Every structure is written in structure tokens, then in C-alpha cells.
Chains A and B, each alone.
Chain A
Amino acid sequence: MGRFIVRRLLAMIPLLFGITLVVFTILRLIPGDPVVIMIGAENTSPDEVARLRGVLGLDQGIHVQYVKFLGRLARGDLGVSLGSAEPVSRLIWERLPATVELTLAAMAVSLAIAIPVGVISAIRKYSATDTAGTVVALLGISMPSFWLGVMLIFLFALRLGWLPASGRSEAVSAGLATLLTTGSPAMLITAVSHLILPAVTLGAGLAAVVTRLTRSSMLEVIGHDFVRTARAKGLPGRRIILHHSLRNALIPIVTVIGLEFGALLGGAVITETIFAWPGIGRLAIRSIVQRDFPVVQGVVLMIAVVRICANLAVDVVYALIDPRIRYA
């Protein structure tokens, strides 16, 4: 297992290399001059633009810029934002916790709903509960997150006034720390109340996918001989469902969750914009609009690394839940 992980980590290097090459080239092929956008129309004169392009190294050939970028990257330096003149790593690092918090919360919310609903749908096949679950799941897949987000804000923030409409206020971890050190839950409550709506919005699509997958996967497993044998042995129904069936049904679900984790990071871009959530998704959008090349490169690289790691984690979890799978 250890050797397997090391090998997979090494395989990341050429993959990331390819990603940097593609991102770097595409960014420079789309039209739009970062310098003009940066200093604004009113202040621009052609010689000023030329001078700044020189200072920022944008007047060199793409290949020269790329080699310099790789050289800095090898030293762990992602470069400096063209817009704010701050280090890219700092810009990302400040926003990453917010995005991770949102993504994990979305995943937790969606699994907490999807797996029980999927299991119940499967064991009560074609019942009213099953139909209701299927319909809701279909809605969840079909609803675009920007629409769902605005509707949730309208209902829970504006009409009912139960939850705040946008923003992050505090980190959940900071709220937890305050609770543990001072015993005051106020900060944790504020933090969680801000997290609920964006997490539901981001998690809705995943919840729907996992519900349907759990249902079909469970149905397949329930039909197997070993489940019939377990029933024949007279094992209690709960034990058959949770221990014998669900554990086997989980394998395809884990695969999908791993793959969807990356999709959640992508979806966070939209959810963060709607809910004014201070994460890397908003940073990405702004940087693309401003043609802030180093920041876009940094964010894409960051997301790529997280996605690759998530896929690796899926493979490791396989081995944990299915004793037949072993890596050498």
C-alpha cells in the first residue's frame, strides 16, 4: 500500500506538468491585455502600457515566460498577482480554508441526506417513499445552483429570517475553538448559520446523484445470493441491510463521491459568488475577468492537486471497505 501511494504521488508530477502547460498556453491565447485592464482606460497611454508590460515580463515570448514560471514553481513560488501585486500563494492560502470548509460541509450535508434516503428507497422499492425520493432527487439534479441559491436566500433569509443571506462571518473551526476555550457557543452558531445555505446549495446536486446511486446499488446487492443466505440464516433485517448489503453497495458510491469532490470544488465557484463566500472560487472568477494570469494559474494548479489527491484517496478507501482489493 505504501509503495502504491508513493508511485501514485510520483505520477502526479508529469500530470501537473501537462496541466501547467495547457493552462499557461490557453490563458495567453485568449485576447485581452492584463495591463490595459489593470491600469484602466482613463490612465492608459500606449507607451505606459508598453513600459508596464516590460516591467511585468509580459513582452517576452510565451516560451520564455513559461520556462521562468516553471523555474519559480520548482522553488514553490507561484508568482505575484498582476492586479494587486501580492504573492499568489498568499491570495490562495487566505481563501482556501473557506472553500475547503464549504466543500466539506456540502459533502457532509449531501451524504447525510442521500445515503439514508437511497437505502430506504431501495428496501421499500416502488413505495410512496421511494417515488418521493426519486422525484426529489430528479429535482436536485435538474436545478441549477444559482437558481436554488437565490431561492433559498429568498425563503430562509428574506421571508422567514432564520438564516443570514450571505457572507461567512467566522470560520467554523474558530467558532469551535471559542466554544472549547471559553464555553461560549455564540460564535459557532453564527459560523454554522452562515454555512447552511451555501452548503445545501452546493451539495444538492451531489445529494441527488448519490441518492439514486445508493438506491440502484443497494437494489443490486439485495438481489445477491449471500443476502438471501443471510436472510435464510435468520439474521435481523437491520444487520443484513447495514452490514451485508450497504457495505458492498458503497464501493461505486465511494468512486462517485471521490470524482464529485472535484466537481464540488468547481461548483464552489458559482456558489461562492452567489453567497459572497470568501473562497478561491471568487478569486478565480475575478482573476479570469482581469486576465490576472499568475493567479488563475495558481488557482487551477491548486484545484488540480486537490482533485488528484481526492482520486488517490478514493483508491485507498476502496482497500479499506473491500478486503478483496489490495494494492502492491
Chain B
Amino acid sequence: MDPGLSTDLYSQQVYSHVLEPLLQLDPDGVPRPALAESWTVSADGRIWTFKLRPNVKFHDGSDFTGEDVKFTIDRILNPDTRSPQRGLLSQIASVEVADRNTVRITTRAAFVPIMTNLATAAYILPRGYHTRVGRDFARRPVGTGPFKWVEWIVDERIVLEANPDYYGGRPAMERVQFRFIPEASVRLAELEAGGADLIAGVPAQDLRRLRVSLLLDLQEVVGTNYRLMGFNTSVKPFDDVRVRQAIAHAIDKQKFVDVVWPGRGVVAEGPIPPTSWAYDERIRGLPFNLNRARQLMAESGHANGFDMNYLITDREEERREVAVIIDQLKQINVNVKVTAVEFPTLLDRLLKANYDVLRVGWTTSPEPDSLLYSPFHTSAIGGFNFTKYRNPRVDELLDRGRTVTNQNDRIRIYRDAQRLIVQDAPMVFIFHEKRTYASRKAVAGFKPHVSGWIVLKTTYGIDVRVGLTR
């Protein structure tokens, strides 16, 4: 539970109630003030000056100052810390404490996504306490947040209690409990039996029942992700854009979602999901059109089709997806041959570009740069640009998206980039997966976060028990 060291979403869901970042993403993924009250950026877009909230205290009684911010970020950037968050902050060149309540962060080049990255990766640590306890911080974290750490029984539960001195007002509930329940059906059973008040991840077969339930609420949010079919554009015949477009035109995404992901996904038009602030409804994917698909196959000299090696993971849903894909691509004489492997194996082959066509998902923070840069920028070939996609115009747009601060200008830039990417079809964007939550009526008004986090309101009159996956 050390924000600089742990990697999983589940730790973050818990410690984000105890510690706070400078900026917090609102449920739509837009950075809002948290420990920073306000900020300005220099004309060249490199120097960010943050005014910190005054008179904030950590749970151990020490004052929150600029020194804590510097300590937190420097620690993540220090290679010896081995922080998994380092990549998200690696654009930061320096952190200076101008005065007690002012911090200046300088990036190597203009880099607007740093705002989101500070919100997701830099939870502010108390310098004094952390230096004193070292590694044990992970067992007893101290922050500025609305809840204080009480106890942690490994793999069983974490208990937090209200911080009476919270600057945002004392939370209405006394205690919050997080429990870790790996089985989805058991999580739901706990909710129904009264052992939990809110759970993340609802079993697919129970969605319909919960939508009409009078006792429980179901909340759904389209996450900032896309599920895709990716082509290795360096191998034949997928180096031919017409072949890739033909396959995209041959897939009936709506039918695909209806059959395999009923109520659990929405058809994707491009990489940016409708819940993101950067979504533009004018972006349209290549539509389902068999005539156009057959015509493209003929133009590329593959009227008689070919065998396609398709790599998937061994998840149950993906196996069912394959039945639909085989059926749909048969229409254009493409014969799909499936290999199912464990996820780490797929990831390994993806990074080595050792595949022809694969099925994978991409999930990030709501920042469009995170959704687009690594998968599509030429500089990321050899890393997560696993389709080996190259388009100088897209590179230029993605680079520009990092330097422009105006949000509307950014939306326009990413719209242009998406148009090109959809046309070049290095991937078929199939659908965006929904995240699901269920709660008892007592925690009414819970709104899931677009990035998948549970951020509890502090206004519930009962002690909330949350059931998490893992």
C-alpha cells in the first residue's frame, strides 16, 4: 500500500481514501484541485506553478508543505526506488519548492498530460513520517485524506476511520472497510447477504436481474479502454491497408457485442470511449459493409481469401468471441485459425511482435495521450506500438497534443489523429468494456469513476463495507 511502489488498481482504490494527490480526477477524468488550490503554466508550457492548499495537516499531525510534494516526486523519479509509476512522471525534470505553499514543476518539454499523471501517480507522502518508518509505510500509510488508516489484515480486510480534522469537513461515516473477494459470484452473495454494501465487478449473468432489483442498485460506466483486433502491419497480407480495411468492414460489431458482451460493452468507433472528455461523436469507425469488404479483398488480390492466425487469451469470453469472428470473416473467405494462450504469454508475443493478428485490450487513465501515444506513435515501435504502425502525420498530431493546454484544441487534435488511425486500420476497434458496480440502497448516489476507481463520498450515514476484486 505504498503509492510509490504498488502497481495494482486495488491498492490504489484503498490508499486514495487515505492519501491525496495535488490534483484529483473528477468522475469524468478531468483534473480538479485537491492538495493544489490553483496552478499556472509558463508560456512555453514547461513550468507548472502550483499553489498549495494552506493549513492542511497529515494524520500524524505534521503540516503539509511543498517539501512533501518534492519528496514524493523525487522519490518516484529516483531509480533506486524502483517505482512502477516512474514512467508516468519521467517527463519531469525538476521539482522546486518556491515557498512553503508554492511548488514549481519543470518538464523536459511541454507536456500537458503531466496533469493527469500527477493525479494518478503522485499521492503526496508525509516526508517526516515516511523517512522515519521507511518500508513500513506500506503497512501503515499516513496521508491528508478524509480517512485514517486503522488496520490491515492481509488478503482479508482494510479498515479506515473518519479523519475528524479533514479540511473538506469530517466524513459522516465512522468507518470504511475494504474486503478482498476474488470470486465475482461470492462478492455478489456478500452484498445480498448483507456482508458488503458496495461491490466492484458484477457477474455478467446477474446484470439483468440487478437492473430491475428493488433492493440493490447497479451502476455501470464505460471505462477508458478499447478492446481491439490488432494487425502486425509488417507481415503479409496485413501490410496491405486494403486487407485490414476489408476485415474491419466484415466485422459486425453490434452483433459481436450483442452475442458475447450483452449489456457489458458499447461498440467502439475509435480508440477514445464516449465517457472521455476527449470523445468526439463525429468519429466513425469503418462500418459493417460486406460488399465493400469483398471489393477491397478483390482489389488487394485476395478474392479467394487466406488463412489468418489469430492469437487470443484463454478467457472464456474471448473463446466465445472467436466463434463470432470465425463466422463473420468466413463471409470474405478469411479462414481464422485460433491460438489461445495465457495473458502473460500473449503480452510477451505482443511486445516481440511475434504474431499475425491478435485480440487485446488497452486500458489507461482518461488522458487521450495515454490512450493513443504508445499504441500509435512511431517512436513506440518496439514497445507498445505492437502493430508497427507508422504515419508521420499521426506522429505530428500526437506530439502536438502534448504541448497544447487548451482543452478544445486538444479535442480537435485527437479527433484528427483518430480519423487517420481509423482509416489506416492498424487495429479494428471493436468495443469499449463497461465496468459494473452494485450497491445497497444505503449507499445511494455512488458514482463510479471513468477510470474504474471507487471514490467513496464522505456523506453516507453508515459504515460502508466495500467488496473489491483480487
Check if B263 is an interface residue, CB within 8 A of chain A.
no
Task: Tell me whether B181 and A167 are in contact (CB under 8 A).
Answer: yes
* Minimum distance in angstroms from B450 CB to a CB of chain A: 15
**B interface, over-half SS:** mixed
Task: Tell me whether A283 and B155 are in contact (CB under 8 A).
Answer: yes
A37-B344 contact, Cβ under 8 Å, with A43-B87, A43-B88: yes
**When chains A and B are docked, how far (Å) is the Cα of A142 from the Cα of B453?**
40
**When chains A and B are docked, how far (Å) is the Cα of A39 from the Cα of B185?**
29
* Minimum distance in angstroms from A136 CB to a CB of chain B: 25
Q: 8 Å CB contacts to B: which residues of A7-55?
A: 30-33, 36-46, 48, 51-52, 55
Interface string of B331-349 (1 = CB under 8 A from A): 0000000000111110111
Task: Tell me whether A44 and B384 are in contact (CB under 8 A).
Answer: yes
Q: Which of B180, B192, B193, B370 contacts A42 (CB 8 A)?
A: B370
Task: Tell me whether A84 and B186 are in contact (CB under 8 A).
Answer: no
Task: Tell me whether B182 and A282 are in contact (CB under 8 A).
Answer: yes
A30-B155 contact, Cβ under 8 Å, with A43-B85, A273-B183, A274-B186: no
Interface string of A146-189 (1 = CB under 8 A from B): 00001001100110010011111100000000000000000000
* Minimum distance in angstroms from A54 CB to a CB of chain B: 10
Q: 8 Å CB contacts to A: which residues of B2-16?
A: 5-7
Q: Which of B82, B154, B362 contacts A55 (CB 8 A)?
A: B82
Check if B399 is an interface residue, CB within 8 A of chain A.
no
| Range class of the B interface residue count | 35 or more
A278-B347 contact, Cβ under 8 Å, with A45-B383, A46-B382, A286-B470: no
Q: Which of A40, A165, A279 contacts B195 (CB 8 A)?
A: A165
Which chain A positions have C-beta within 8 A of B342? 30-32
List 7 A-B residue pairs with CB atoms under 8 Å apart, sorted by A's residue number: A32-B345, A39-B84, A42-B374, A46-B382, A46-B383, A157-B193, A276-B156
Task: Tell me whether B345 and A273 are in contact (CB under 8 A).
Answer: no
* Minimum distance in angstroms from B254 CB to a CB of chain A: 28
A165-B186 contact, Cβ under 8 Å, with A36-B347, A282-B155: yes
Which chain A positions have C-beta within 8 A of B84? 38-40, 43
Check if A6 is an interface residue, CB within 8 A of chain B.
no
**When chains A and B are docked, how far (Å) is the Cα of A5 from the Cα of B154?**
36
Check if B189 is an interface residue, CB within 8 A of chain A.
yes
**When chains A and B are docked, how far (Å) is the Cα of A91 from the Cα of B374?**
35
A167-B348 contact, Cβ under 8 Å, with A41-B362, A42-B365: no
* Minimum distance in angstroms from B366 CB to a CB of chain A: 12
Which chain B positions have C-beta within 8 A of A158? 189, 192-193
Beyond the given A41-B362, A41-B364, A46-B383, please list 9 additional residue pairs across the A-B interface where CB-CB is below 8 A.
A31-B341, A33-B344, A86-B135, A165-B193, A166-B186, A167-B156, A168-B153, A168-B156, A289-B344
Task: Tell me whether B348 and A157 are in contact (CB under 8 A).
Answer: no
* Minimum distance in angstroms from B107 CB to a CB of chain A: 16
Check if A95 is an interface residue, CB within 8 A of chain B.
yes
Which chain B positions have C-beta within 8 A of A291? 344
A42-B344 contact, Cβ under 8 Å, with A165-B193, A276-B180: no
**When chains A and B are docked, how far (Å) is the Cα of A85 from the Cα of B83?**
10
Q: Can you name the residue of chain B whose Cβ is closest to the Cβ of A91? A: B154
Check if B165 is an interface residue, CB within 8 A of chain A.
no
Q: Which of A41, A85, A165, A276 contacts B182 (CB 8 A)?
A: A276
Which chain A positions have C-beta within 8 A of B156? 167-169, 276, 278
Q: Which of A30, A83, A150 contacts B186 (CB 8 A)?
A: A150
Task: Tell me whether B87 and A48 are in contact (CB under 8 A).
Answer: yes
Most buried by A among B344, B349, B351: B344
Q: 8 Å CB contacts to A: which residues of B26-72?
A: none
Task: Tell me whether A33 and B348 are in contact (CB under 8 A).
Answer: yes
| Range class of the A interface residue count | 35 or more
Interface string of B181-202 (1 = CB under 8 A from A): 1110110011011010000000
Check if B17 is an interface residue, CB within 8 A of chain A.
no
* Minimum distance in angstroms from A82 CB to a CB of chain B: 10
Which chain A positions have C-beta within 8 A of B380? 45
Q: 8 Å CB contacts to A: which residues of B346-378?
A: 347-349, 351, 362-365, 370, 374
Task: Tell me whether A164 and B195 are in contact (CB under 8 A).
Answer: yes
A153-B189 contact, Cβ under 8 Å, with A32-B345, A84-B6, A276-B181: yes
Check if A220 is an interface residue, CB within 8 A of chain B.
no
Check if B157 is an interface residue, CB within 8 A of chain A.
yes
Which chain B positions have C-beta within 8 A of A38? 7, 84
**When chains A and B are docked, how far (Å) is the Cα of A38 from the Cα of B11?**
13
* Minimum distance in angstroms from B10 CB to a CB of chain A: 11
Which chain A positions have C-beta within 8 A of B5? 84-85
Q: Can you name the residue of chain A whose Cβ is closest to the Cβ of B189? A: A165
Which chain A positions have C-beta within 8 A of B180? 276
Q: Which of A39, A91, A165 contacts B7 (CB 8 A)?
A: A39
Which chain B positions have C-beta within 8 A of A274? 183, 186
* Minimum distance in angstroms from B225 CB to a CB of chain A: 11
Check if A261 is an interface residue, CB within 8 A of chain B.
no
**When chains A and B are docked, how far (Å) is the Cα of A32 from the Cα of B351?**
10
Task: Tell me whether B351 and A276 are in contact (CB under 8 A).
Answer: no
Which chain B positions have C-beta within 8 A of A167? 156-157, 179, 181, 195
Which chain B positions have C-beta within 8 A of A30? 342, 344-345
Task: Tell me whether A95 and B154 are in contact (CB under 8 A).
Answer: yes
Task: Tell me whether A166 and B190 are in contact (CB under 8 A).
Answer: yes
Check if B392 is an interface residue, CB within 8 A of chain A.
no
Q: Can you name the residue of chain A whose Cβ is closest to the Cβ of B84? A: A39
Those 7 A-B pairs whose CB atoms lie nearest each other, nearest first: A32-B344, A43-B87, A278-B155, A39-B84, A31-B345, A276-B181, A278-B156
Which chain A positions have C-beta within 8 A of B343? 32, 289
**When chains A and B are docked, how far (Å) is the Cα of A167 from the Cα of B341?**
32
* Minimum distance in angstroms from B127 CB to a CB of chain A: 20
Which chain B positions have C-beta within 8 A of A282? 155, 182
Which chain A positions have C-beta within 8 A of B434? none
Q: Can you name the residue of chain B whose Cβ is closest to the Cβ of A35? A: B84
* Minimum distance in angstroms from A94 CB to a CB of chain B: 5
Check if B242 is an interface residue, CB within 8 A of chain A.
no
Check if B79 is an interface residue, CB within 8 A of chain A.
yes
Most buried by B among A84, A150, A168: A84
Which chain A positions have C-beta within 8 A of B154? 91, 94-95, 278
A165-B345 contact, Cβ under 8 Å, with A36-B351, A273-B182: no
Which chain B positions have C-beta within 8 A of A169? 156
Check if B294 is an interface residue, CB within 8 A of chain A.
no
Which chain B positions have C-beta within 8 A of A283? 155
Check if B86 is an interface residue, CB within 8 A of chain A.
yes
Q: Can you name the residue of chain B whose Cβ is closest to the Cβ of A52? A: B82
* Minimum distance in angstroms from A294 CB to a CB of chain B: 14
* Minimum distance in angstroms from B368 CB to a CB of chain A: 13
